[in-house]
A and B are shown apart, each in its own frame.
Chain A
Amino acid sequence: MSTDQSVPTREVAQRVFAAEFNDASYTFKESDDERAPVYALLPTGEQANRVFFVGTLTETDDVGEDNEYWQGRIVDPTGTFFVYAGQYQPEAASMLRELEPPAYVAVVGKPRTYETDDGSITVSVRPESITTVDAVTRDRWVAETAERTLGRIDAFDDETNEYARMAREQYGDDPSAYAETVASALESLDGGDSVPTDDTADAPVDGNSQA
């Protein structure tokens, strides 16, 4: 009766800080189909075919030789995202051409990896859209990305978490460095380093308090 099933599901945009994203050098496909989507494997154990992030655009550069090919550096509290837009991303490319850094920007895009001459792999973003946003949106993204990252770290030890299993194989089995990243990101928010009131942790539980 319903036609919902015929609508291809859109890939969710993962929330990941730059420090973790730039470590996501392992990519894979879920099927052998040549046109199957490529996923980056996040070290905290999640697949990412799309990312959404908000940060400060600090530099733009036309690094193309024959054609325009724009590089943008976008900084979050943990590191730098590199985005590249050329003739096939005309809107994003024109944003990078026209924007005056510094500016808060929101980016939706696909992870891309590139192997350099020395064999190391760099991770970047091919933007679908770049828009300028305000500080409120940027702060919300930091808090949201902290929450999503902590959620992934929490689920890292679940036995059914196949991406965590892959992450263990590819990157090692300790995601705690990314918890540190989250902490530093939250501390950078205005008021984020205020003393937690912590009115839940010590609340007596019925039946136990008199024990």
Chain B
Amino acid sequence: MTELRTHADEIAAQFSDHLDIDTDEVEDRLQQLVTEYKVPVDEARRSLTNSYLDEAGLDRDELGRGGAEAVLVDEIDQDEQWVDVTVKVVDLWEPRSDSISQVGLVGDESGRTKFVAFSTSELEELDEGKNYKLANVVTDEYQGDYSIKLNRTTTITELDEEIEVGDSSTTVDGALVDVQSGSGLIKRCPEEGCTRVLQNGRCSEHGEVDGEFDLRIKAVLDDGHEVHDVIFNREATEELTGIGLEDAKQQAQDALDTSVVADGIRTDILGRYYRVTGPTLGRYVLANEFEQLRRPTDTAAMLAEARADQ
């Protein structure tokens, strides 16, 4: 493909939902600007994009920035970049707000990342386990962790090929030595795409808001050599402790205090041994799978060693 053809293809793709144009037409117009009027390619592209924006009655913001770069999810290390990814949908989570149509994990050979799609973008829904090219998604950063946001200019193409998802999940085990503050029954910011945990009814980004209840555990696993921070989300918390969101709300209501939930969780899990497997987000391991560890059986070899050391 010639350079112009590539640009033309990208422009046509950007407007495919808004205008009835094809690559040939775009290429002709680009060709004219570049060869007849000696306009540099980038400038030609910009001016052509502007003219199509006018035609479609769109703002530039509503359109992906041109020339989104194809990246692996593990390469995403900047906020607000327009990128294309080719991924498999690994996991779909329950959206916490009506404004979010889908949230979950997507992955490619390099690893996994969180994605969010908003109801207002009116995109087709992704199916778990299927493979897609997602063109024109925007990267997002929160406390050093990156995710991608789908938007109304994102094009979703289902692929037949099967994408191997890199195993960026880790397994850690140890004694659960601490349940940290921010565990138990918490409230999250209901603002679109926010989900930050409220402190005294306030979101650090959106101020005083009417939060939505959620349940989670931030805990520390310690094996005597290393410590690992792990997070159990609502589902995992329920599986681990048997306490669901409704039970937790009821407990808090009866005690007129949300901290009873975390206190109960501490009593249930502190001092036990667990193995936790899941993707890492920053310094946290997300507990997708976990089990309580039972006594190891190979003490005989240790006993022999202890006797030999005496």
Which residues of A approach B to under 8 Å, CB–CB? 1-4, 7, 9-10, 12-15, 50, 52, 54, 105-108, 128-129, 131-133, 136-137, 139-141, 143-144, 146-148, 150, 153, 176, 179-180, 182-183, 186-187, 189, 191-198, 200
Establish whether residues B224 and A14, one from each chain, have CB atoms under 8 Å apart when the complex forms. Answer: yes
Cα-based distance from A211 to B156 in the complex (angstroms): 67
Known: A13-B222, A143-B295. A106 touches B303 (CB 8 A): no
Establish whether residues A146 and B222, one from each chain, have CB atoms under 8 Å apart when the complex forms. Answer: no
Chain B: interface residue total (CB-CB under 8 A) = 35
Shortest beta-carbon distance, B219 to chain A, in Å? 12
Establish whether residues A12 and B227, one from each chain, have CB atoms under 8 Å apart when the complex forms. Answer: yes
Establish whether residues B309 and A187, one from each chain, have CB atoms under 8 Å apart when the complex forms. Answer: no
Which residues of chain B have C-beta atoms less than 8 A from A194's C-beta? 300
Known: A133-B271, A179-B310, A196-B304. A12 touches B222 (CB 8 A): yes
Which residues of B approach A to under 8 Å, CB–CB? 77, 143-144, 175, 177-178, 220, 222, 224-227, 266-267, 270-273, 282-283, 293-296, 299-307, 309-310
What is the predominant secondary structure among interface residues of chain A facing chain B? Answer: mixed
Establish whether residues B272 and A106, one from each chain, have CB atoms under 8 Å apart when the complex forms. Answer: yes
Establish whether residues A196 and B301, one from each chain, have CB atoms under 8 Å apart when the complex forms. Answer: yes
Given contacts A52-B224, A144-B296, A176-B310, 7 further A-B contacts (CB under 8 A): A12-B224, A13-B175, A129-B271, A131-B267, A143-B295, A143-B296, A148-B224
Which residues of chain A have C-beta atoms less than 8 A from B301's C-beta? 196, 198, 200
Q: What residue of chain A has the Cβ atom nearest to residue B283's Cβ?
A: A4
What is the predominant secondary structure among interface residues of chain B facing chain A? Answer: mixed
Establish whether residues B303 and A131, one from each chain, have CB atoms under 8 Å apart when the complex forms. Answer: no
Shortest beta-carbon distance, A47 to chain B, in Å? 13
Shortest beta-carbon distance, A195 to chain B, in Å? 8
**A129, A196, A198: the one within 8 Å of B270 (CB):** A129
Which residues of chain A have C-beta atoms less than 8 A from B177's C-beta? 13, 50, 52, 108, 129
Which residues of chain A have C-beta atoms less than 8 A from B294's C-beta? 136, 140
**B271, B282, B300: the one within 8 Å of A131 (CB):** B271
Cα-based distance from A75 to B309 in the complex (angstroms): 24
18 A-B pairs (CB sep. < 8 Å): A2-B144, A7-B283, A12-B227, A13-B177, A13-B222, A128-B178, A129-B270, A131-B270, A136-B295, A143-B299, A143-B302, A144-B273, A146-B306, A148-B224, A150-B302, A153-B309, A183-B310, A191-B299
Which residues of chain A have C-beta atoms less than 8 A from B300's C-beta? 192, 194-198
Shortest beta-carbon distance, A85 to chain B, in Å? 15
Known: A3-B144, A4-B282. A10 touches B220 (CB 8 A): yes
Q: What residue of chain B has the Cβ atom nearest to residue A183's Cβ?
A: B306
Known: A4-B282, A140-B296. A183 touches B303 (CB 8 A): yes
Which residues of chain B have C-beta atoms less than 8 A from A143's C-beta? 295-296, 299, 302
**A52, A132, A189: the one within 8 Å of B175 (CB):** A52
Establish whether residues B227 and A10, one from each chain, have CB atoms under 8 Å apart when the complex forms. Answer: yes
